[in-house]
Structure 1
Amino acid sequence: MSEINKETQLLVIGGGPGGYPAALAAADHGIRVILVDADPKLGGVCLNRGCIPSKALLHVAKMINETREAEEWGVHFSPAKIDLPKLASFVQQKVIGKLNGGVAALCKGRGVEVINAKAIFEGPNTVRLEGANTGRIKFENAIVATGSVPAMPPAFALGDPRIMDSTGALQLQDIPSKLLIIGGGYIGLEIGTVYAALGSKITVVEFTDGLLPTADRDLVVPLEKRLRASFENIYLNTKVASLQPTPQGIVATLEGKDVPGQMTFDRVLVSVGRRPISQGFGLETAGVAVDKKGFILVDAQRRTNVPNIYAIGDVAGEPGLAHKATAEAKVVVEALLGEPAEFSPKAIPAVVFTDPELAWCGLTERDAQAQNIPYEKTVFPWAASGRAITLARTEGFTKMLFDPESKRVLGIAFVGVGAGEMIAEGVLAVEMGAVARDLADSIHAHPTLSETVMEASELAIGSATHLAKPKKVAK
């Protein structure tokens, strides 16, 4: 431990997908930057305990599932044998470790000074350091990028290691025979997909009437059908009233129609959302305002009510997505440089990395209906896609929303294999104000799933080659 007393032009608090890109971008423009993070490994939740390890494990699950499905094609594999310690080591060392090292090297190469400590505001221009290093840093401007943590309702915080949040579940301590997932959002379903492939019997309990409550209902249908085949149980409109640790397992008491009163599980994953990390580091001392949910209030430049303090990422409001944080980082640095920048995207992509994947951007049907925004909808089923047929995965579809008059693209959504890789074209179309003919006349490679974008656009202006034009669906 060392005593640190420094001054800097820009202090960045948090080394996740918002913080470290902000530090790098500022350094590229000659700004003197200090990056402070309490975690000795840079990258934040996304790299260390979230997006990256979960996607590595989802890739493993995909391989396991494909070996099983290949039997229908006449290709036979022996059942997969899981070396859990080796798999966990691969994720930690070959995936997370490699990316940790890459971020650290980028900071060193760009002249960003990294300090491992917790930063606590003592005022609008000073923080106190605690933890691995102590001391004080004076700054001209600061960016708060402290992120979020899994929410754990007090009723479930029983101190039993068998009751996990997403961080614990991704550590792969063992493969439970029976796993309860409380919450049918994307984090729970992604982790459930992993454990189901590894051999666990999964039960999902969701309080609302559908999985992925924020997604359009038609997108969820193909996913729910597949999950019901691979999961043991999915209970909707159901509440977990209590959890009781016993030597035999965690006893869950359920409340809902046509559900068992009690069930016993080896482990429980509590996946009911995340909360911003806005307490415990002196925001109130600096005079920074937060809302009743704990999110830091910011303007279009991500500036707080204290003019020299900015906030980005999960702590600055929803959606809690890594790519949203990175985009905000660029805006803040441009604002610091005096450029006319603001965070006002028309399309922030959302991706659910289940199997099949879901992805959408721009206007959704549920938002259009709630806001009484008129639209036309086209849907191209992947059953009419040659590429989907070659993959034996025809359950998906491409959906596009257009302005009824101008045919401008308002939103696009996919459900199917590889949907997350396809959404970028939709983001570009919405951000650039493309119209249906722009996409319909853009030649897409054959055979690819991306052709479904072209054909869905053709439906808006005429008829698609591989699908007769249905009657317009105007809202």
Structure 2
Amino acid sequence: MKEISCKLLVIGAGPGGYVCAIRAGQLGVDTVIVEFGKPGGTCLNVGCIPSKALIHAAEEFEKIAHIAGGKGPLGIAVAPPTLDLTKTVAWKDGIVSRLNSGVAGLLKKAKVKTVQGWATFRDGKTVEVETETGSQVIRAEAVVIASGSVPAELPFLPFGGPVISSTEALALSEVPDKLAVVGGGYIGLELGMAFAKMGAKVAVVEALPRVLAQYDAELTRPVLKRLGELGIEVMLGAKAKGLSTKGDALLVEMADGKNAKLAADRVLVTVGRKPLTEGWGLEQIDLDMVGRFIRIDDQCRTSMRGIYAIGDVTGEPMLAHRAMAQGEMVAEIVAGHKRGWDKRAIPAICFTDPELVTAGLSPDEAKALAGEIKIGHFPFAANGRAMTRQGEDGFVRIVARADNHLVLGIQAVGQGVSELAAAFGLALEMGARLEDIAGTIHAHPTQGEGFQEAALKALGHALHV
């Protein structure tokens, strides 16, 4: 049995893990990273990146189909399009493969040793890794758990056959004729809308009174409108109960208590994700937990000295960029630097059509914290660039304190607004006030002007609305 020693051991090469390892290597820390799959974790391999590739392909197909149907106002005419999903998935896989190689190359450049296999704790300083060539023991002064999360399964709808998770949805060889989506959160709606654009008849089953419940109703209204335009049936207050005997329909209990059968070739279950804490031997080290998640402090320390945890395994928000920020911080702490982590500006993006972006506090949250607030709201219907992209639906909204105009939160819904997330996060991180955003020259014509106009509106003198 081989044994190696290092200063830092990172378990999991997802966004948090590989960033932690790379930064540690840059700082001269002797680092080993263990990963049982391909580098990049869920986000790169079966999450963020491949889903955005599929969403983009669906958008392009839907645009062409729209024009072919004689509905486009741009004067463009084309023959009705066809879609070969196998080629689309192959293109998506090519992007993922290039990024896999990129992460592996960055780890190598930072002189991080990569061990392929499944790690199991022996104690707080030692893990055993099952590799293709046998067992390897790794001893480390510090350990970072970055094991991530997996799709949550419903006991009455176990994955298999027609019941799929987001992972299988991103690898289908053909577009299902009828797709039932269980769960109206961001994953379900992102993929549901993509498949609807590719020609599937989609129905969303959501137990709550509305979809995208983590966002306020004003923000989600344009998305609801688009769901209707795409012909997606949304069943609210409805509960999935299982598959029909033949396996060709989803059994649903409707809001009025009546039972219904929803015909479906595939049933996509998107009811959240759960931390991957099983199989790592965590019982050998007895970490404090918060429900299913590992408890951490504001420097990602666990209840055991020398053991850190980052990313999805530590709880919400389960976002790749949160894990990356945590990983970078932990690497610098292990290297002896003084570091803290400010969570106030973690943007969250929902890649529906139109897209949603939130950063900081919502109006209700800001009101509860600060009392009197100012809200600036600017519609994209008054933005030239949005109009030229046929993306007039949506708006930018800024929430600030009424007394000193400190910006507390920024939200937007609209075509392509995901690219505004960096500006929103920067404004909050830098402690911007309404006057700072209003006084910054924003290039014309861009959708970013909506950000400035929202600040002007909150100050009482918007120029273009």
Interval containing the TM-score (normalised by the shorter chain): over 0.9
Give the letter for the 1:35 counterpart: I
2:81 pairs with 1:80: yes
Supply the AA of the counterpart residue of 2:210. Answer: G
2: CA distance between counterparts of 1:251 and 1:35?
42
**Would the aligned equivalents of 2:84 and 2:174 in 1 still touch at CA under 8 Å?**
no
Paired residue type of 1:388:
A
Calculate percent identity across the aligned residue pairs. Answer: 39
The residue aligned with 2:91 is 90
- Judged with a 3 Å threshold, the aligned counterparts in structure 2 of structure 1 residues 426 and 259 are, in CA distance, closer, same or farther, namely farther
1:52 matches 2:49: yes
What 5-or-longer segments of structure 1 have no aligned partner?
468-475
Between the aligned partners of 2:236 and 2:278, the Cα distance in structure 1 is 33
2:153 partner letter: M
Q: 1:241: Cα distance to partner?
A: 2.2
CA contact (8 A) 1:206 1:237 kept: yes
2:290 maps to 1:291: yes
Higher mean displacement: 384-393 or 201-210: 384-393
Unpaired runs of 5+ in structure 2? none
CA–CA distance in structure 1, aligned partners of residues 252 and 108 of structure 2: 52
- TM normalised by structure 2 equals 0.96
Looking at structure 2, the residues matched to 461 and 374 of structure 1 have their Cα atoms a distance apart, in angstroms, of 14
Quote the offset at 1:279 in angstroms: 1.8
Deviations 1:255-275 (A, max 9, x none): 223977112210000000000
Q: Verify: 1:160 aligned to 2:157, yes or no.
A: no
Measure the CA separation in 1 of the matches of 2:364 and 2:13.
35
SS at match of 2:194: helix
> Does 1:269 pair with 2:268?
yes
8 Å Cα contact 1:296-1:311 kept in structure 2? yes
Note if contact 1:408-1:434 (Cα within 8 Å) is conserved in structure 2: yes
**3-state secondary structure, aligned to 2:156:** helix
Distance 1:259 1:369, change over 3 A: farther
Q: Which amino acid in 2 is paired with 1:49?
A: V
Q: Distance in 1 between matches of 2:6 and 2:80?
A: 57
**Superposition deviation, residue 245 in structure 1:** 4.9
- Aligned pair count reads 460
User: Which residue number in structure 1 is paired with residue 27 of structure 2?
Assistant: 29
Aligned to 1:143: 144
Q: Which amino acid aligns with 1:252?
A: L
Structure 2 partner of 1:471:
none
Three-state SS of the structure 1 residue aligned to 2:290 is coil
Between the aligned partners of 1:442 and 1:137, the Cα distance in structure 2 is 52
> AA paired with 1:138?
R
Q: How many Å separate the matches in 1 of 2:442 and 2:113?
A: 45
- The answer (yes or no) to whether the contact 1:38–1:116 under 8 Å persists in 2 is yes
One-letter amino acid of the structure 1 residue matched with residue 44 of structure 2: L
3-state SS of 2:175 partner: coil
CA–CA distance in 1 between the matches of 2:250 and 2:27?
56
Return the offset for 1:331.
Answer: 1.1
Q: Using the alignment, how far apart are the partners of 1:122 and 1:74 within structure 2?
A: 67
Per the alignment, residue 256 of structure 2 pairs with 257
**Are the counterparts in 2 of residues 150 and 274 from structure 1 also a CA contact under 8 Å?**
yes
Q: Which moved more, 1:237-246 or 1:250-259?
A: 250-259
Q: Taking structure 1 as reference, are residues 260 and 61 closer, same or farther at Cα in structure 2, changes over 3 Å only?
A: farther
Q: Distance in 1 between matches of 2:103 and 2:324?
A: 14
Are residue 124 (structure 1) and residue 121 (structure 2) matched? no
Q: Secondary structure at the match of 1:406?
A: coil
Mean Cα displacement is larger for which, 234-243 or 314-323? 234-243
Q: Distance in 1 between matches of 2:432 and 2:357?
A: 19
CA 1:209/1:369 → structure 2, altered by over 3 Å: closer, same or farther?
Answer: farther
* 1:175 positional shift: 1.1
Aligned equivalents of 2:251 and 2:80: distance in 1?
32
Question: What's the counterpart of residue 194 of structure 1?
Answer: 194
Helix, strand or coil for the counterpart of 2:209? coil
Contact 1:383 1:394 in 2 (8 A): yes
Match of 1:278 in 2: 277
Q: Is the 8 A contact 2:180 2:250 kept in 1?
A: no
